[in-house]
Amino acid sequence: MMRYMLLMCGPEDPDPAPAAPGEEPCWLPWAREMDARGVVRVGGGRLRPISTATTVRANGTEVLVADGPFAETKEQILGYDVIECADLDEAIWAASRHPVALSGGAVEVRPILEDAPA
């Protein structure tokens, strides 16, 4: 099994509405589908708006702190999921089924670098 991070990218919704009482979150059917397929969801979550972001740079002697995200783009990282699955093909399949991808956003799939054995 390999671990992958799925980065959800798309235009930021300035006022995302939570699921109505009795209504399931949009990601829950995706989670059930992943469970049924044997893709293990290790963790994940939505990110707060970019207005809450802080970018930090360090050049050895100086720490530079700036409000906001580093990238000036219309698409932002909206959230993430970490999954464990057999290979990249299965991770791509999982990303293609994610509600962000299905609603016109993008899901970046990145393998997680595992620590080298001692």
Mind listing the pLDDT tens digit for each residue in 47-70? 888 888 888 889 888 998 988 766
Residue type at 90? Answer: E
Distance CA 41, CA 35 (A): 8
CATH of the domain spanning 2-11+27-48+55-111: 3.30.70.1060
pTM of the model: 0.82
> Please, what are the averages of pLDDT over each run of 10 residues along the chain (118 residues)?
94 73 89 96 90 87 83 79 96 95 93 76
Burial 26-41 (b: 16+ CB within 10 A, else e): ebeebbeebeeeebeb
90 touches 39 (CB < 8 A): yes
Residue with tokens 């044997």: 38
Q: Which of 75, 99, 85 is nearest to 5 (CA)?
A: 85
Looking at residue 72, what is its pLDDT? 62
